[in-house]
Amino acid sequence: MSSAEQWQVIDRIAAAEVPSMDVVERIKSELSSSPVVLFMKGTPDFPQCGFSAQTASALKACGARFKHVNIFEEPEMREALKRYSSWPTYPQLYVNGELIGGCDIALEMYRSGELQKLLSEAGAVQA
């Protein structure tokens, strides 16, 4: 492989690892569109994995108003969000633009009452 070909391979790998500015702007736009955003597999009414179902159920049990993004409908965002958040799995729960975590963290916070408090402070539930 020539030196030029090696650089082409390196450029392709680098491009694949770094989200495009367009998709990063879309992620930021989603995060700023609602105090609570859940990036999940499927939808709250038709989740496509158990972890997404449990996280959406915890939010519903708190009476939270939240926006969801079905990552199966956004393949570019699905991959870019993992790098953006440094969180490798879904669902990903954000409150006020800040990553809270995945299913285990959301459920632990729900059980302790922390999730309800956080959601109330964010204005996503009626006090």
pLDDT digits (tens, 9 = 90+) for 72-88: 998 899 999 999 999 99
Domain that holds residue 78: 20-121
Pairing verdict, β 67-70 and 36-40: parallel
Per the structure, how many domains does the chain have? Answer: 1
Which residues are paired to 99 by β-bridges? 94
Q: Is the pLDDT of residue 108 over 60?
A: yes
Q: Read out DSSP for 5-21? A: HHHHHHHHHHHHHS--H
With contact defined as beta carbons under 8 Å apart, do 125 and 118 qualify?
A: no
Read off the pLDDT band of 1 (50, 70, 90): low
For residue 9, being part of any structural domain is answered with no
Read off the pLDDT band of 45 (50, 70, 90): very high
CATH assignment at residue 104: 3.40.30.10
pLDDT digits (tens, 9 = 90+) for 19-41: 556 989 999 999 999 999 999 99
Rg value, the chain, Cα: 17
